[in-house]
């Protein structure tokens, strides 16, 4: 039957069975899901919720760590405290931050996990205490107006 016929002619005459159609569709669906979940970046609803929770926790810890650094640097003896913090071993630095009360934020009852570690890491990375910019007191600032 295939003798003397070219490939395009044989392709045109080919009629797949229903079983072949069914298995081809099933194979395509499985291949699509495998590719989507492995390299396509698809995730399940549970994984997406977990990713949202992790991102939320990291953002909260980052915010509290930023406030912690500001509180730490605003203290009167920040340079001395920073030197002491750098002398402490890295796994105990978060305890120094917690004991100093720098991670306590008004309105938050519970401690934010990871904030003390993040704060200690940021402070340890500083070479020196940056100069604080203080806004001038309005009572000491003279305002001049010119009537042109």
Q: Which structural domain range is residue 61 located in? A: 57-124
Domain annotation covers residue 24: no
What is the rounded CA–CA span in Å between residue 94 and residue 105? Answer: 16
Domain annotation covers residue 115: yes
What is the rounded CA–CA span in Å between residue 29 and residue 70? Answer: 54
Residue 42: what pLDDT? 95
Cα angle vertex 107, ends 50, 66, to 5°? 65
Provide the domain count of the chain. Answer: 1
Domain annotation covers residue 31: no
Domain annotation covers residue 91: yes
pLDDT tens for the chain, 148 residues long, are 557 899 999 999 999 999 999 999 999 999 999 999 999 999 999 999 999 999 999 999 999 999 999 999 988 888 899 999 999 998 899 999 999 889 988 888 888 889 999 999 999 998 888 876 555 556 655 655 555 5
Domain annotation covers residue 33: no
Domain annotation covers residue 51: no
């Amino acid at each position: 039957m295939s003798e003397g016929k070219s490939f395009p002619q044989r392709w045109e005459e080919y009629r797949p069975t229903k079983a072949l159609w069914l298995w081809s569709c099933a194979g395509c669906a499985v291949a699509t899901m495998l590719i989507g979940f492995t390299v396509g970046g698809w995730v399940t609803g549970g994984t997406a919720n977990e990713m949202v929770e992790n991102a939320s926790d990291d953002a909260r810890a980052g915010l509290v760590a930023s406030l912690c650094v500001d509180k730490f640097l605003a203290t009167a003896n920040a340079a001395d405290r920073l030197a002491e913090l750098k002398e402490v071993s890295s796994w105990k630095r978060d305890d120094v931050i917690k004991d100093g009360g720098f991670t306590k934020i008004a309105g938050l009852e519970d401690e934010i996990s990871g904030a003390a570690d993040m704060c200690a890491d940021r402070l340890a990375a500083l070479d020196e205490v940056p100069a604080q910019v203080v806004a001038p007191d309005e009572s000491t600032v003279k305002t001049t107006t010119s009537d042109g």
